[in-house]
Chain A
């Protein structure tokens, strides 16, 4: 028997409107124009929203979850007649995966670089040399003491 979590939808972060999912009436407009759904029949934004509504989201909450096939293109959000924001639901699910320490390795690495240096690309001497060659100033380190305090 699948595990049903009746309160699951309340666990989604409300920072960015994931809570609009209760307006979903399952019309499937989000699927028709979804570029990922076109190439991967297993990826279905309507079904992702339904699983969250029914408290059946557990299979989506893992490192190799189907939700990582999302391109974050926001097309689903544009076409939804009910103002549901499937991407924000997917992002909220990703946040739950992240809190459980299960982000895919490439994403975890990219997040780590930002948390350590304040930028998503490591600034090396080679980069600064290339900048000065092009008449640009060297990049200064990001004030990490400030970032650490606010996180």
Chain B
């Protein structure tokens, strides 16, 4: 299984530990990551799309065209990159006139997007192409007794008509790939709520995140896990900021899914980079050792 590894912007710059652990742990389940030159920002599906949707889809098509030239489907760790690239692909297939217009622009740099590849989120690759069995076979240090609260985020699931990953009202994809690691997935009331990264109202953002963290705390999780760097920022750095404004102080460590995978495959806490996070939990490290 070979994929063009689409790094995006936020992970390789702010959170390279996720890239490091992906490069170590994905080959162990048979996924080969190929570095392809020339990718830019996907571009991100909130601010840049708000700025100009035509510019957004043109840059996305250039990225897709680069992977197509390499003859590879795209794998990304980021829900934002996934949403942009998968949506752009869908729209271009659905609207041939728009595709012509975008390709006219791409022709200025000698590129063309034919629509022969697809962009996949790492969780899709793990569920559909690798499979739970294969994941389980790679586990040497099962995460027994680790209580995980799953945060889906929005852009890996919605709009479901375009992305077709799972049912956004009752998704199972993360549970499917966490359970083989031996961890216990704990349901909680705010499981499907948004990180609110795109909301521009500070007061609302505070309330959203407070409710989510409160719900996780009530469920007595050891950590939450997620698959989007914007969500990660919202609940790692965001939790520190929230604690500054809030009388109540939360301490819920946030782990990227690939970090859980790496830990279950025998990597140490430091090697998967959890010691670099803002929210640290000695209790979790203790349980992992």
Q: Which residues of A contact B (CB under 8 A)?
A: 13, 15-16, 35-36, 39-40, 68-75, 77-78, 85, 87, 91-92, 94-95, 97-99, 103-104, 106-108, 110-111, 114, 118-121, 123, 127, 130-131, 134-137, 139-140, 142-143, 146-147, 149-151
Contacts and interface: CB of A to CB of B under 8 A. Distances in A.
Contacts of A136: 12, 16, 19-20, 23
Contacts of A127: 13
Contacts of A35: 193-194, 196, 208
Interface stretch (B132-140, B198-206, B249-257): B198-206
A91 B16 contact: no
Contacts of A135: 20
B54 A150 contact: no
12 contacts: A39-B204, A40-B204, A75-B168, A91-B49, A98-B52, A111-B47, A111-B48, A114-B48, A120-B48, A134-B17, A136-B19, A143-B40
B106 to A, nearest CB: 6
Residue with the highest number of chain B CB atoms closer than 10 Å, among A75, A120, A123, A140: A120
Contacts of B46: 72
Interface residues of B, number: 61
Contact of A13 (B13, B39, B53): B53
Interface of B: 9-10, 12-14, 16-17, 19-20, 23, 35, 37-41, 43-55, 57-59, 62, 87, 91, 95, 98, 105-106, 108-109, 154-155, 158-161, 168-169, 193-194, 196-201, 204, 207-208, 273
B14 A121 contact: yes
Given A121-B10, A136-B16, A150 B108 contact: yes
A58 B63 CA distance: 36
A78 B169 contact: yes
Contacts of A111: 47-48, 51
Interface-centre pick from B20, B98, B200 (highest chain A CB count, 10 A): B200
Given A78-B169, A91-B53, A134-B16, A85 B159 contact: yes
A32 B9 CA distance: 34
Contacts of A121: 9-10, 13-14
